Structure 1
């Protein structure tokens, strides 16, 4: 339609497209089991998600009073269990249909997550998401991680620049979009740790059925 424009749509992964906390908890608790420490429950692990695996391990070490000097070794073991862990992960309802609707409308899609690239690609392949993404940035793709805007801006450049919407579930994602100067759509059913009102956003939605209309509104604008 005349006057409309295509919009790049870049997504976070954990807590946005996928509910992966059960697999993350599995990996964390395997490390704790090896070190004679008690397991962590799911709400606690969800509270640790958002700033990448290194920060996650910092919080696990603090929660179970493990030796901080072993952070590197513990993180390496976490990654041993984390890579390929997909059996407990699920897609959020309506996610695939929304992605396909956006692609059919001509929009280019990308991923910008703090999840390390290897496990991110594992889960993308497991759910047939990889072919739907035109670019993918993990937490170790660049020296910077979110909320630094560098990975998000790099993904936007890969998609050709122009109008871009970032879709995420947390205060980290909201800050990243704000620092990148991009519109942000907040998925409210993920892993945020603060109220919706405290996260800067242009749009909020609780089911992926709503996302194509949000993007259509940006396209018309």
Structure 2
């Protein structure tokens, strides 16, 4: 642009229209909502796990004198029972036979690392990845539930016993708990999210 005297004026600074400016307030609101969603879903998973474990410990731990065996609640005949069990290992009794001096620190480290990993990943998940945003908090709540058990007891309380009867014999799936359900559901949702188009 030239002035009346013929001098060249400095170019005007381009100003973006208001709509193109980043809506920092909106972004902050989304981050807060995302953080609360993580806290609420993982907290509910944790509460459900610890609550059901406390119930199982109170009602199922010990010896049933009438049955001459462990206490048991039959939920679905020949398919599902509630029975109290302590699992020093991982899923499907993984590393159950390892000495306690090695097993306990190993599982404490794995559980704590999983929690840190899940929280760090969740902060970077795009808002539209719904399955992942549900899966991570569920897995987080489950991991925290089993970690609490390992800190308190050095092992995990299990009480859900699924089995089928074939040829007069019971074939049992490894006993599990609500934390395991949350972890499996969470991992399943993560896999679904990764398989879906971005």
After TM superposition, the score normalised by the length of structure 2 is: 0.23
Indicate the structure whose relative CO is greater, using CA pairs within 8 Å and at least 6 residues apart.
1
